[in-house]
Amino acid sequence: MKIISSPEEMQKQARLLIQSGEDISFVPTMGYLHAGHVSLMKIAREYADTVVVSIFVNPSQFGPNEDLAAYPRDFERDEKLCREAGVDFLFYPNSENMYLDDHSLWLSEEALSTVLCGASRHGHFRGVCTIVAKLLNIVQPDFMVLGEKDAQQLRVLRRMVRDLNFHVEIIAAPTVREADGVAMSSRNKYLTPAERKEAVCLFQSLEKAKALFAGGERGAEKIKAAVRTVIKATSGKVDYIEIVDDETLQPVQTLEKPALLALAVKFSGARLIDNTVLR
């Protein structure tokens, strides 16, 4: 596995691979890798000869009061995991070479980004779109694998790729869960032991919603109320519980088309998100 920190060098390597006829699969990450990331790498391998993983804690997607400084980092462990997963290139740039001092160009998606996490994390998706556009220009992949856990991010980036004609196919990878159902996330590390136990409420509330839906319930308010009841039995504070059209991300009252049930819950140390599509 080759570790590259210079964007120019990574882009040069990508050009060489493309010229020699190799396909590239790309997994963008912010590091502190876990089994969920490894599953993305395995999926990436199914699509292409060369797998590139990036690790970059992107400052521009964190708000001023968010956890940028405290975001967990462990490059040695990440490097080992990537090697074991058979990654070919690990792109590990730093803020200075990704954002020059006079960086002044930003990308904003203006519809899907305004709701859910976009409503409570202002500027988050502007940061995500900008960095992913840069990474795509540097790595030039044929495929980019993204987790379904970040449902809104997946939809925003699909829109960016469509609207700006990026030459990449986005592959959505299923959420990987711990044995009790908690979605794997680097931020789970921030939970106290008691909160970690309670964090299963997100999964349980989604299961409850799925059961209601399977039983014929189509009223969004009723399903959201059931989800809220499960969360309220814990110390978690609801940031949002929304049922939105799976394509437009606009709220729905009656579930007639596939709908995304998405929730964000704040614990003392971490804000967790999870989702399911009710179809």
Contacts of 265 (CB under 8 A, 6+ apart): 201, 202, 231, 236, 237, 238, 239, 271, 272, 273
Could you say which of 132, 138, 182, 209 contacts ligand PAF (CB under 6 A)? Answer: 132
270 lies in the site for ligand PAF, by CB under 6 A: no
264 lies in the site for ligand PAF, by CB under 6 A: no
The answer to whether 34 is a known catalytic residue is no
With contacts defined by CB under 6 A, name the span among 24-32, 112-120, 213-221, 249-257 that binds ligand PAF: 24-32
130 lies in the site for ligand PAF, by CB under 6 A: no
30 lies in the site for ligand PAF, by CB under 6 A: yes
Could you say which of 25, 29, 39, 175 contacts ligand PAF (CB under 6 A)? Answer: 29
28 lies in the site for ligand PAF, by CB under 6 A: yes
| CB atoms inside a 10 Å sphere around CB 42 | 15
58 lies in the site for ligand PAF, by CB under 6 A: yes
> Distance between CA atoms of 192 and 175, rounded to whole angstroms?
22
131 lies in the site for ligand PAF, by CB under 6 A: yes
Residue 142 Cβ vs ligand PAF, minimum distance, rounded to whole Å: 17
60 lies in the site for ligand PAF, by CB under 6 A: no
Contact between 276 and 206 under an 8 Å Cβ cutoff? The reply is: yes
> Distance between CA atoms of 117 and 113, rounded to whole angstroms?
8
61 lies in the site for ligand PAF, by CB under 6 A: yes
Residue 1 Cβ vs ligand PAF, minimum distance, rounded to whole Å: 19
Nearer to ligand PAF, 24 or 231 (CB): 24
Nearer to ligand PAF, 93 or 252 (CB): 93
Going from the C-alpha of 123 to that of each of 46, 107, 216, the distances in angstroms are 34, 10, 38
> Distance between CA atoms of 163 and 209, rounded to whole angstroms?
33
Nearer to ligand PAF, 132 or 201 (CB): 132
Strand-pair partners of 3? 90
Nearer to ligand PAF, 59 or 269 (CB): 59
128 lies in the site for ligand PAF, by CB under 6 A: yes
CA-wise closest residue to 153 among 124, 176, 185, 193: 124
Residue 62 Cβ vs ligand PAF, minimum distance, rounded to whole Å: 10
Nearer to ligand PAF, 135 or 259 (CB): 135
Q: How far apart are the first and last CA of the chain?
A: 41
> Distance between CA atoms of 84 and 251, rounded to whole angstroms?
42
| CB atoms inside a 10 Å sphere around CB 152 | 24
Q: Which residues are catalytic?
A: 37
